[in-house]
Amino acid sequence: MTAEGPDTLRHALSLVPAVCAGLAGGLAVLRDPGGRRAGALFTGAGAGPRGPRAGWAGVRMCLEQRREWLCAPVAALLAVLGESVLPLLAGAVAVPLVRRWMRRRVLRHERERAADAVTALCGAVVGELRAGREPGQALIAAGHHAGALGAAESAVLAAARFGGDVAGALRQASVGPGLDGLAGVAACWRVAVDGGAGLAAGLARLEGALRAERRRREELRAQLAGAWSTVVVLALLPVAGLGLGAALGADPLGVLLHSPGGLACLVAGGVLEAAGLLWAARIVRTGEAE
């Protein structure tokens, strides 16, 4: 590295906060549904975006679907600053890991939405039953909550409309992610048909149990929020250390990427960082499971 290397590095590092702020702002805009609704309002509901807006809409849609590729520009920036290909290799490894993590989050949100839809379905059917409808008609009338039935929606509604095995169709639909509550609906339906018990009372108790489970899950998540915050802070400490070293006039990237001792420290630190994150995540997930 030349004599101008540290000055160039400090100048480049001074641009990092601006780049990070720009990426954060872009992600905030992408994740803001109000911004998307406002964009749709000003561009017109029926007509698609035109001109430069069409290009930006395509880029935004691509980023929404492939957010894990934001690791690539960060890795490229570090590779330029450190004058090494190691950050590029690390970015290539990070992309599938981030994709897997984001996919897991999406699946968890989908399960929670499905569970909420089952709860809403129970409440809607109870309301229709208390309004005087027959069980099959009540289930059909609650069709605006039929998203809770998943892929078996047509089979369940057809069984309810034509007098088929509604309990069996509900039990088959309960195998979907987040649709475990439909097994309880099937049990209530079977007891009401075979034993003559009140279906509305059973579904009302089931709805109360599902809502209590949702409240318990939210309370547990709120209690674990502090633990997750601690994990994130500990994970970002090495990055803060690199920034502090660069601000003091040192060359931490050069030492880590261009010296045997630095490479050894980098590998050891990366292994310890990954082990610590996995351990902390396992502890938190164990608490969530319990």
Has residue 266 been placed in a domain?
no
Residue 26 has pLDDT above 50, yes or no: no
Query: Average pLDDT for residues 137-160, to the nearest whole number?
Result: 75
The reply to whether 50 and 138 lie within a common domain is no
Q: From CA 128, how far away is CA 204, in angstroms rounded?
A: 12
Domain boundary among 146, 179, 209: 209
Q: Is 125 left (phi over 0), alpha (psi -120 to 50) or beta?
A: alpha
Q: Does 194 share its domain with 117?
A: yes
Parent domain of 35: 7-65
In a domain, 215, yes or no: no
Domain count for the chain, please give it. Answer: 2
* 259 falls within a domain: no
Specify if 20 maps to a domain: yes
Same domain (yes/no): 143, 202 = yes
Q: Are 150 and 176 in contact (CB under 8 A)?
A: yes
Q: Are 169 and 156 in contact (CB under 8 A)?
A: yes
Interval 47-90: pLDDT, tens: 445 555 656 666 566 656 677 777 788 888 878 877 788 888 88
Are both 142 and 204 inside the same structural domain? yes
Q: In the predicted model, is pLDDT for residue 144 greater than 70? A: no
What is the identity of the amino acid at 56?
W
- Whether 103 maps to a domain, the answer reads no
Looking at the fold, whether 61 and 117 belong to one and the same domain comes out as: no
Give a yes or no: residue 225 inside a domain: no
Single out the residue in 185, 209, 233 at which a domain terminates: 209
Question: Could you tell me what percent of the chain has a pLDDT over 90?
Answer: 4
First to last CA, the chain: 54
- Residue 36 above 90 pLDDT? no
Q: How far apart are CA 289 and CA 187, in angstroms?
A: 25
**Tokens in use for 290?**
């319990």
Is residue 202 within 8 Å of residue 192, measured between CB atoms?
yes
Q: What is the pLDDT of residues 87-127, one digit of tens each?
A: 888 888 888 888 888 888 888 888 888 888 888 888 888 88
Question: Are 121 and 57 members of one domain?
Answer: no
Chain segment 223-269, per-residue pLDDT in tens: 888 878 888 888 888 888 888 888 888 888 888 888 888 889 888 98
Q: What is the pTM of this model?
A: 0.66
For the chain, the average pLDDT equals: 76
Is residue 38 a part of any domain in this protein?
A: yes
Residues 118, 173, single domain; the answer is yes
What's the residue count for the chain? 290
Whether residue 223 is contained in a domain is answered as no
* pLDDT at residue number 211: 93
